[in-house]
């Protein structure tokens, strides 16, 4: 059944920053894959935390300490509900990058040696690539990559070949931040588990935009960031299968993650606290909880439908722009992210010219240098959509691209 449509015009009213004037024009924000804008409810939740509840968590016997702990643990419950996870498996980290580093160091580094292989893909963000190179340096394990096809999908034949012994871990993105490709992660997890291979999914570009049910997908690890899903910067989530987290040593050590400390020896707290050393980002958790409430109120299935429809509209309109090359699949397995180049115009110039018209896009390698090499480009321009974007925003981008062509004489 099709989800109800959302009214992006009404939703825009919840995001005060969208009233900003940029270069004399009303802001058109098409860079949500980098970070999303924040609704008033999130901004107010952070402010309310500091105004009425600021204290440290899991320590205080006083009222503010209890309020802060309720907010922090309430955020964990909210996140767990959103993604269908056991709250004991929800570890608060700084961002997706830290979540993946946690798994690289506390899981892979501890277990793998030269006889083992980690498999990644050519479309990974550096955050899901560099940590595995580091593990290779530390353990001598092998690291191989599933190639990306010319239409921006994972090579099926190589996937089958690489999801076999000696592979021990597959680390793959759910949605590509450059191509918008939605990878068939449910099938990949099933295939990998059939061969006894653990799976980490980078969900940074998925959780904000589409329903994600970890109970159904059943990954071993799944990482995402609050700041791409209407929440604040500084807090993210690593989901880990509780039995695995239980077995793993801590990533960072110090206060808050211990059970008993003597001068000789320390024992660890229960999960997830074992992985949350030091004072956490409590204000961030307050914002994240409000972001989850906000997205649930709008309805993630409606956010997904809106992203699909806007991307289809953008594809149709961009096909009218002379000299434009689009990267990535254009079909049902593509979501919310449109990368392209204009013939004869460097993507940074494209970014600068559209910015003059108040349109914010990203230009560069998008932290995916190996993918750029595979696409035989040094950089692309990238527009990315979210629940507050409208067809008018796409039209503003397209008009600005015609202007870029005029300036560069194409
Ligand atoms: N991509 C982009 O503009 P952090 O920075 O840890 O919150 O997220 C890292 C990350 C990991 N995986 C994927 C698929 C991502 O898209 C990102 C962040 C931003 O594409 C900033 S480089």
Is residue 367 annotated as a catalytic residue, yes or no?
A: yes
Read off the pLDDT of residues 323-339 as tens digits, 9 standing for 90 and up: 999 999 988 899 999 99
Is ligand 1 within 6 A of the CB of residue 205? yes
Active-site residue (options: 120, 141, 367, 368): 367
Looking at residue 178, what is its pLDDT?
98
Name the residue at shortest CA distance from atom 3 of ligand 1: 34
Helix (H, G, I), strand (E, B) or coil at 252: coil
Going from the Cα of 140 to the center of ligand 1, the distance in angstroms, rounded, reads 27
Residues 271, 321 share a domain: no
Establish if 138 belongs to a structural domain: yes
Residues 57, 114 share a domain: yes
CB 317 within 8 A of CB 394: yes
pLDDT band at 208 (very low <50, low <70, confident <90, very high): very high
- Ligand 1 pocket, mutate which of 35, 92, 96, 371 (most atoms under 8 A from CB): 96
Task: Catalogue the E-assigned strands of 114-220.
Answer: 117-121, 142-146, 167-173, 198-202
Can you read off the two tokens belonging to residue 41?
Answer: 């409810």
Going from the Cα of 164 to the center of ligand 1, the distance in angstroms, rounded, reads 28
Going from the Cα of 31 to the center of ligand 1, the distance in angstroms, rounded, reads 12
Residue 364 has pLDDT above 70, yes or no: yes
Residues 181, 114 share a domain: yes
Between CA 271 and CA 261 the distance in angstroms is: 17
Residues 188, 337 share a domain: no
Residue 1 has pLDDT above 80, yes or no: no
Total domain count for the chain?
Answer: 2
CB-hemisphere CA count at 13 Å for 212?
31
What is the model's pTM? 0.98
- Using CB atoms within 10 A of its CB, is residue 266 exposed (0-12), middle (13-18) or buried (19+)? middle
Residue 220 has pLDDT above 80, yes or no: yes
Residues 122, 21 share a domain: no
Going from the Cα of 34 to the center of ligand 1, the distance in angstroms, rounded, reads 6
pLDDT band at 135 (very low <50, low <70, confident <90, very high): very high
Read off the pLDDT of residues 60-118 as tens digits, 9 standing for 90 and up: 789 999 999 999 999 999 999 999 999 999 999 999 999 999 999 999 999 999 999 99
Q: Counting atoms of ligand 1 from 1, which one is nearest the CA of 202? A: 12
Residue written as token pair 């001598």: 140
- Ligand 1 pocket, mutate which of 30, 212, 225 (most atoms under 8 A from CB): 225
Residue 410 has pLDDT above 90, yes or no: no
Considering 246, 269, 297, which residue would you say is the last residue of a domain? 297
- Using CB atoms within 10 A of its CB, is residue 332 exposed (0-12), middle (13-18) or buried (19+)? exposed
Residue 41 has pLDDT above 90, yes or no: yes
Name the residue at shortest CA distance from atom 18 of ligand 1: 34
398: left (phi over 0), alpha (psi -120 to 50) or beta: alpha
Between CA 383 and CA 331 the distance in angstroms is: 17
Residues 271, 342 share a domain: no
Establish if 206 belongs to a structural domain: yes
Dihedral sign from CA coordinates of 234, 240, 246, 251: negative
23: left (phi over 0), alpha (psi -120 to 50) or beta: left
Residues 72, 211 share a domain: yes
Considering 265, 297, 329, which residue would you say is the last residue of a domain? 297
Residues 115, 261 share a domain: yes
β-pairing, 198-202 with 380-384? Answer: unpaired
- Using CB atoms within 10 A of its CB, is residue 191 exposed (0-12), middle (13-18) or buried (19+)? middle
Establish if 3 belongs to a structural domain: no
Read off the pLDDT of residues 391-408 as tens digits, 9 standing for 90 and up: 999 999 999 999 999 998
Is ligand 1 within 6 A of the CB of residue 125? yes
- Ligand 1 pocket, mutate which of 32, 120, 177, 238 (most atoms under 8 A from CB): 177
Looking at residue 59, what is its pLDDT?
80
Residues 206, 60 share a domain: yes
Considering 232, 264, 297, which residue would you say is the last residue of a domain? 297
Read off the pLDDT of residues 146-176 as tens digits, 9 standing for 90 and up: 999 999 999 999 999 999 999 999 999 999 9
Going from the Cα of 199 to the center of ligand 1, the distance in angstroms, rounded, reads 19
Going from the Cα of 365 to the center of ligand 1, the distance in angstroms, rounded, reads 12
Establish if 2 belongs to a structural domain: no
Q: Counting atoms of ligand 1 from 1, which one is nearest the CA of 34? A: 3
Residues 212, 76 share a domain: yes
Establish if 189 belongs to a structural domain: yes
Tell which residue, 342, 344, 360, 340, has the closest CA to residue 352: 360
> What is the average pLDDT score of the chain?
97
Domain, as residue range, for 223: 43-297
Read off the pLDDT of residues 104-124 as tens digits, 9 standing for 90 and up: 999 999 999 999 999 999 999
Establish if 56 belongs to a structural domain: yes
Establish if 211 belongs to a structural domain: yes
Is ligand 1 within 6 A of the CB of residue 372? no
Residues 177, 89 share a domain: yes
Residue written as token pair 């959302």: 6
Name the residue at shortest CA distance from atom 21 of ligand 1: 34
Looking at residue 390, what is its pLDDT?
98
Please report, rounded to a whole number, the percentage of residues in the chain having pLDDT higher than 70: 100
List the CATH number of the domain containing 216.
3.40.640.10
Residue 180 has pLDDT above 80, yes or no: yes
Establish if 1 belongs to a structural domain: no
Q: Counting atoms of ligand 1 from 1, which one is nearest the CA of 96? A: 6
Can you read off the two tokens belonging to residue 128?
Answer: 């899901």
Between CA 270 and CA 52 the distance in angstroms is: 29
List the CATH number of the domain containing 341.
3.90.1150.10
Is ligand 1 within 6 A of the CB of residue 177? yes
Is ligand 1 within 6 A of the CB of residue 202? yes
pLDDT band at 2 (very low <50, low <70, confident <90, very high): confident
Residues 285, 315 share a domain: no
β-pairing, 258-261 with 266-268? Answer: antiparallel
Residue 374 has pLDDT above 80, yes or no: yes
Can you read off the two tokens belonging to residue 222?
Answer: 């799944």
């Amino acid at each position: 059944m099709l989800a109800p449509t959302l009214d992006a015009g009404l939703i825009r009213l919840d995001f005060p920053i969208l009233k900003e004037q940029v270069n004399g024009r009303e802001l058109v924000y098409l860079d949500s894959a980098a970070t999303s804008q924040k609704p008033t409810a999130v901004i107010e939740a952070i402010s309310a935390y500091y105004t009425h509840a600021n204290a440290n968590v899991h320590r205080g016997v006083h009222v503010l300490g209890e309020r802060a702990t309720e907010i922090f643990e309430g955020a964990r419950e909210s996140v767990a509900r959103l993604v269908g996870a056991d709250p004991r498996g929800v570890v608060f980290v700084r961002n997706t990058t830290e979540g993946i580093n946690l798994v690289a160091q506390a899981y892979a580094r501890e277990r793998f040696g030269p006889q083992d292989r980690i498999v990644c893909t050519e479309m990974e963000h550096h955050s899901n690539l560099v940590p595995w190179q580091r593990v290779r340096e530390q353990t001598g394990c092998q690291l191989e990559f599933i190639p990306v096809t010319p239409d921006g999908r994972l090579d099926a034949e190589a996937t089958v070949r690489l999801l076999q012994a000696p592979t021990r871990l597959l680390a793959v993105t759910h949605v590509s931040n450059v191509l918008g490709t939605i990878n068939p992660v449910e099938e990949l997890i099933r295939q990998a588990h059939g061969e006894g291979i653990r799976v980490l999914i980078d969900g940074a570009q998925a959780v904000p935009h589409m329903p994600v049910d970890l109970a159904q997908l059943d990954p071993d690890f799944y990482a995402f960031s609050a700041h791409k899903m209407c929440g604040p910067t500084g807090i993210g989530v690593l989901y880990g299968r509780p039995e695995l987290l239980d077995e793993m040593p801590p990533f960072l050590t110090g206060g808050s993650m211990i059970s008993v400390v003597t001068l000789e020896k320390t024992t660890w707290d229960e999960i997830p606290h074992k992985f949350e050393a030091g004072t956490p980002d409590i204000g961030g958790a307050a914002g994240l909880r409000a972001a989850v409430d906000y997205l649930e109120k709008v309805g993630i299935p409606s956010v997904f439908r809106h992203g699909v429809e806007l991307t289809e509209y953008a594809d149709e309109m961009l096909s009218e722009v002379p000299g434009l090359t689009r990267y990535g699949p254009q079909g049902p397995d593509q979501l919310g992210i449109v990368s392209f180049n204009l013939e004869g115009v460097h993507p940074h110039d494209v970014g600068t010219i559209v910015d003059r018209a108040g349109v914010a896009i990203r230009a560069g390698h998008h932290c995916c240098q190996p993918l750029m090499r595979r696409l035989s480009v040094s950089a692309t321009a990238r527009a990315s959509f979210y629940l507050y974007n409208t067809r008018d925003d796409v039209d503003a981008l397209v008009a600005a691209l015609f202007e870029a062509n005029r300036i560069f004489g194409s």
